[in-house]
């Protein structure tokens, strides 16, 4: 069967109703929302609820009981006042989040996570869990009963623009998927992301550390976050978004 792989390198694109039919959707925000979601779930958070505004985040937080809620996120990469945590993955320790609903509002990532509401498989991906995400996608495509014939990759980008780290993560994911036994048709943007990945696969980290978003985070003292977010397969969890929240699902490890 022919499987189409399409990639949206920025978050603004026309979304006709049929766009996501028969699709597996993958959402990428390497720095740092995807990586934070993976860390929170791996440390036992019950779920992560993305919110696309501070007001909505605070409202959801207010509707939950004190013992089971945790409010995190950023604006301009910094924790909003009154929040429990910013968007640094290392703030999502098991002490802080185990058994809790984490409400997460971030500038770019949380917004992309709220797209494609009616899709069965919406997966949150970063470098930290890319191997497991790739294996999951390949296994779903192999199951003909699922009738999936498209993989749609949505990159959060950076303030509406393309971001290098999300594009390269998309390229690496495409590379992994292409190694499986199917006939694939790449859209131009998927082809571009894949070429970009191939051209830089020798040393992704060095290149990405000096690009826009990492440079900004580095100036703010978040070097440890950057190292973690760019480390491949360091947090092998599979976060799947349902109607309103992201939960970890069990899937064989790498």
Binding characters for ligand MLT, 216-245, by CB under 6 A (x = yes): -x----------------------------
Q: Which is nearer to ligand MLT, 109 or 171 (CB)?
A: 109
Rule CB under 6 A: say whether 108 interacts with ligand MLT.
yes
**Options 106, 129, 163, 190; binder of ligand MLT; rule CB under 6 A:** 106
Q: Is 232 helix (H, G, I), strand (E, B) or coil?
A: coil
**Span 120-159, contacts to ligand MLT by CB under 6 A:** 156
**Span 155-174, contacts to ligand MLT by CB under 6 A:** 156
Shortest Cβ distance from residue 174 to ligand MLT (Å)? 22
Q: Which two tokens stand for residue 203?
A: 């040393």
**Span 52-91, contacts to ligand MLT by CB under 6 A:** 74, 77, 87
Distance between start and end Cα atoms, the chain: 25
Distance CA 125, CA 241 (A): 11
Shortest Cβ distance from residue 221 to ligand MLT (Å)? 13
Rule CB under 6 A: say whether 115 interacts with ligand MLT.
no
Q: Which is nearer to ligand MLT, 107 or 152 (CB)?
A: 107
Shortest Cβ distance from residue 49 to ligand MLT (Å)? 15
**Ramachandran category for residue 32: left, alpha or beta (phi over 0 → left; psi -120 to 50 → alpha):** alpha
Q: What is the DSSP pairing of strand 69-73 with strand 101-105?
A: parallel
Shortest Cβ distance from residue 138 to ligand MLT (Å)? 27
Shortest Cβ distance from residue 55 to ligand MLT (Å)? 17
**How many residues contact ligand MLT, by CB under 6 A?**
13
Q: Is 186 helix (H, G, I), strand (E, B) or coil?
A: strand
Q: Which is nearer to ligand MLT, 85 or 186 (CB)?
A: 85
Cα separations in angstroms, 117 against 85, 113, 120: 27, 9, 9
**Options 109, 126, 157, 239; binder of ligand MLT; rule CB under 6 A:** 109
Distance CA 94, CA 91 (A): 9
Shortest Cβ distance from residue 111 to ligand MLT (Å)? 8
**Span 17-56, contacts to ligand MLT by CB under 6 A:** 29, 31-33
Q: What is the DSSP pairing of strand 239-241 with strand 246-248?
A: antiparallel
Q: In what order do the strands lie in the sheet with 23-28?
A: 69-73, 101-105, 47-50, 246-248, 239-241, 121-125, 23-28, 150-155, 2-8, 183-186
Q: Which two tokens stand for residue 94?
A: 């098991």
Residues at the site binding ligand MLT, with contacts judged by CB under 6 A: 29, 31-33, 74, 77, 87, 106-109, 156, 217
């Amino acid at each position: 069967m022919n499987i189409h792989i399409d990639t949206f390198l920025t978050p603004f694109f026309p979304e006709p109703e049929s766009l996501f039919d028969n699709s597996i959707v993958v959402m990428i925000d390497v720095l740092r929302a995807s990586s934070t979601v993976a860390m929170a779930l791996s440390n036992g958070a019950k779920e992560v609820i993305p919110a696309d505004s501070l007001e909505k985040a605070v409202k959801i937080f207010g509707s939950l009981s004190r013992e089971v809620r945790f409010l995190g996120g950023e604006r301009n990469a910094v924790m909003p006042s009154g929040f429990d945590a910013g968007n640094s993955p290392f703030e999502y320790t098991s002490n802080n989040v185990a058994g809790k609903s984490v409400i997460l509002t971030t500038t770019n990532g949380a917004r992309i996570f709220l797209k494609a509401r009616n899709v069965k498989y919406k997966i949150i991906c970063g470098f930290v869990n890319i191997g497991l995400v790739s294996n999951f996608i390949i296994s779903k495509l192999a199951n003909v009963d699922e009738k999936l014939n498209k993989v749609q990759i949505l990159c959060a980008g950076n303030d509406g623009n393309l971001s290098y780290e999300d594009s390269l993560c998309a390229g690496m994911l495409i590379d992994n998927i292409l190694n499986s036994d199917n006939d694939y048709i790449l859209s131009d943007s998927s082809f571009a992301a894949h070429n970009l990945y191939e051209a830089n696969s020798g040393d992704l980290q060095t290149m990405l550390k000096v690009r826009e978003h990492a440079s900004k985070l580095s100036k703010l003292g978040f070097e440890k976050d950057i190292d973690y977010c760019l480390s491949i397969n360091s947090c092998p969890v599979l976060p799947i978004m349902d109607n309103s929240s992201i939960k970890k699902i069990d899937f064989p490890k790498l």
